[in-house]
Structure 1
Amino acid sequence: MQRKTVLLLGANSDVAKAAILLYAAKGFRIIAASRSTDALQAFADQQSFPKELLTILYFDAADFDSHAGFYQQLPEKPHIVVYAAGYLKNNEEALLDFPGSFRMMQVHYAGAVSILNIIAMDTENVRLERIIGLSSLSGVRGRKSNFIYGSTKSAFTQYLAGLRQYLFNRRVTVNVIVAGYIRSKMTAGLHLPESLMLEPDFIAKAVVEAGNSLIVVPGFKWKLIYTILKWMPERLVARLP
């Protein structure tokens, strides 16, 4: 039986590395792509992955001109694609530092649209069955504490929602993992409620086990928060931190 292949974009994130372990346990062949290829190689060496099961490639979400060439040189076309690239500037810094804001736009939205359009439009890859994007509850409603970061995630979520409809007739499933606070290197140093923190492997399990729903919200607390945020009147949202 032929192994299925998963392509992880932004594969050096904590969630992506946890997903690599889960996909490997399921027998997938893995293409892990990131700017941090040395860190990925160190991770692979630590886990003792067989070389035939894991390929590490350089991928820069913000280098749009390289995306077509990157896709064409893949050792094989994927059955599943996971977009997990991330970059974070806190809101106060982002308000004063447009290059930092622009970097978030590039990594979370423009870069995703660039590479995922290329993947989606490859109609010769009849093996493609699923595209999964790692988004955030920050993109559900605009809030004064994180609206720049949140706007990039909101745009990404809406893009994936439309892509899901576009690919429906080809029977390609698109999922959005709408995650809450994740204990990761990206959130290290932030003062976040401990009771709401989720571990990367918990989010990774939601990625690997994504079903047919567009929106996947891991964790019952965050499912409740998602529902409240989605339907909360604007006058109450304005009072949130």
Structure 2
Amino acid sequence: MDQNTNKTVLILGANSDVAKQCIKQYLAKGFSIIAASRNTNSLENFIKEKHLDQSKITVLYFDAADFDSHQKFYNELPIKPHIAVYAAGFLIDNEKALRDFKGTQQMMITNYMGAVSILNIIAMDESNKNLERIIGLSSLSGVRGRKSNFVYGSTKAAFTTYLAGLRQELASKNIKVNALVIGYIRTKINEGLQLNESLIMEPDYVAKHIVNAGNSFTIVPNFKWKIIYLILKMLPEILVAELP
């Protein structure tokens, strides 16, 4: 009998390309899934098109921006999760973000504020003895501030810092927290951007690193991105300023 048969994963922002691959891979490992998103129709269509086991998937409406609804959403979950994955994300071009605060605000809300709101609720539920792990999808854009994407990057930097502190907060309860620090992925959010093809990862590849997350806090899929991550961390500020 699969050890994960009686375990449940809550995926927040489950309509993203990476999250959909996570659904498939967690199912293959025996988990039940609560897939939560604003676009429930798209999720339901995906589940039918891929012939996934509908008896093991619950689709729920979740809006990261509607903070007031988060406690009610959590209270009404059919089962409290063993694993929670925050995969919601929003991105606009940096030039637009500098001139359009509404777009910037949406990035702040989706990438950081909404995450903190719902993950605090999940993490602080003393009655949920199931919880084993919280995983957040962050970005290499948040490692250092760079001219091309520092507005978006700042929201991801904040999220990574939050997850690092949450890991320390939950360590005594033996609840693991992971931050996926991700580079370019072939997804809807990156459509139309001029990206280095040799660095683009497929959603199923990234999902594999989420589903198989271990003890390390920072998980950087792909050895090329690991090198870039380490270089970014170590570069003097004067050289970071020369980056695009």
Determine if the TM-score, normalized by the shorter chain, exceeds 0.5: yes
State the Cα distance separating 1:120 from its structure 2 match: 0.5
1:65 aligned residue: 68
* Contact in 1 for aligned 2:86/2:137 (Cα 8 Å): yes
How far residue 186 of structure 1 moved from its aligned partner, in angstroms, is 0.5
Residue 233 of structure 1: aligned partner: 236
User: Where in structure 2 are the equivalents of 1:58-137 lying within 5 Å?
Assistant: 58-137=61-140
The aligned runs of 1:1-241 (5 Å cut-off) are 2-241=5-244
**1:30, CA displacement in angstroms?**
0.2
Give the alignment's Cα RMSD to 1 decimal: 0.7
Please say if residues 9 and 85 of structure 2, whose CA atoms lie closer than 8 Å, have aligned partners that are also in contact. yes
| Per-residue deviation, 1:47 | 1.8
CA deviation vs aligned residue, 1:20-68 (integer Å, no higher than 9, x gap): 0000000100000000100000001112223320000000001000000
Please give the alpha-carbon distance, in whole angstroms, between the structure 1 residues aligned to 2:195 and 2:119: 32
Residue 186 of structure 1 aligns to a residue whose secondary structure is: helix
2:93·2:149 contact (CA, 8 Å) conserved in 1? Answer: yes
Shift of 1:3: 1.5
For 1:225, what is the secondary structure of its paired residue?
helix
Structure 1: unaligned runs, 5 residues or longer = none
Question: Deviation digits for residues 48-104 of structure 1, max 9, x if unmatched?
Answer: 223320000000001000000000110100000000001110100000100000000
Q: Is the 8 A contact 2:185 2:200 kept in 1?
A: yes
TM-score of the superposition, structure 1-length normalised?
0.99
Q: What code does the residue aligned with 1:151 have?
A: S
Q: Find runs of 4+ consecutive structure 1 residues off by over 4 angstroms.
A: none
- Quick one: distance in 2 between partners of 1:48 and 1:224? 38
TM-score for both structures, normalised by structure 2: 0.98
Number of residue equivalences: 241
Partners of 2:169 and 2:55 lie apart in 1 by 34
2:144 counterpart SS class? coil
Matched letter for residue 187 of structure 2: S
Cα distance in 1 for residues equivalent to 2:200 and 2:101: 29
**Equivalent residue letter for 1:89:** I
Q: Work out the percentage of aligned pairs sharing the same amino acid.
A: 65
CA distance in 1, matches of 2:226, 2:51: 36
